[in-house]
Amino acid sequence: MTEPASPHRQPEEGPRHGRLSARPAAPTTRGATGLVPVTAPDGGPPALAYAPPGDGPYRLVVLLHGAGGTAQQGLDLLLPLADAHRLLLLAPKATASSWDLIVEAFGTDVTRIDGLLGTVFGAYPVAEVAFGGFSDGASYALSLGLTNGDLVDAVLAFSPGFAAPLVPHGRPRAFVSHGTDDRVLPVDVCSRRLVPRLHALGYPVEYAEFAGGHEVPAEIRQRAVAWLAG
């Protein structure tokens, strides 16, 4: 994982460097509540969104699926908890089998997510933005979230493999969970190395290990959302 940028350094901008340009603003339309398909402005794979009933402002959580997953699998990470905690959920679909950084480098998926964020910001009042994900989606959520800490204030990383921000911005807080019996991304070489590194770089991290494999138990989801609200 790279060191935070010097305050005197001008970081590169744009999707090839993992940078998102969309920002919350006063909505220009009124978005529907419930489960809503969201078309990517570039015509790529559609995303899914879920808006709780009632008025905002909302905390937006962008949820990223694991390798070979779907937008629905990303959404399902927090869907049962969205109403109770007033979470506006956005779940994109990766262009390839996994996210661009895992496959090659930042680029295509950053552009798509940025466009989807612009669409959501134009339809819903958003006060705070978090990123979350499982497995490859967790690694991508950490990498993209730390790169865009001037937009993202929190990251939920369920069983991540790594974090690779190019030029970090800000100091978003992170919730990291991992199963002690994970055979896909073993905890010893993943979160048990990653979390101390994040701490050393000054990121506030809440870490939760649990007895289990490559999964996100219900109690971990509940703990993560309670942490997010706090």
What domains, with CATH codes, occur in the chain? 15-229 (3.40.50.1820)
* CA separation for the pair 33, 49 (Å, rounded): 9
pLDDT tens track for 123-134: 999 999 999 999
Across the range 34-39, mean pLDDT stands at: 94
Looking at the predicted structure, is the pLDDT value of residue 2 above 80? no
148 with 155: CB under 8 angstroms?
A: no
> By mean pLDDT, which of 38-42, 79-83, 136-140 is the weakest?
38-42
Amino acid at 165: P
pLDDT tens track for 92-125: 999 999 999 999 999 999 999 999 999 999 999 9
Looking at residue 5, its pLDDT comes to: 43
Looking at the predicted structure, is the pLDDT value of residue 7 above 50? no
3-state secondary structure the chain: CCCCCCCCCCCCCCHHHCCCCCCCCCCCCCCCCEEEEECCCCCCCCEEEEECCCCCCEEEEEEECCCCCCHHHHHHCCHHHHHHHCEEEEECCCCCCCCHHHHCCCCHHHHHHHHHHHHHHCCCCEEEEEEEEECHHHHHHHHHHHHCCCCCCEEEEECCCCCCCCCCCCCCEEEEEEECCCCCCCHHHCHHHHHHHHHHCCCCEEEEEECCCCCCCHHHHHHHHHHHHC
Across the range 177-187, mean pLDDT stands at: 98
Looking at residue 97, its pLDDT comes to: 93
Looking at the predicted structure, is the pLDDT value of residue 139 above 90? yes
Looking at residue 40, its pLDDT comes to: 81
Looking at residue 8, its pLDDT comes to: 38
* CA separation for the pair 158, 150 (Å, rounded): 22
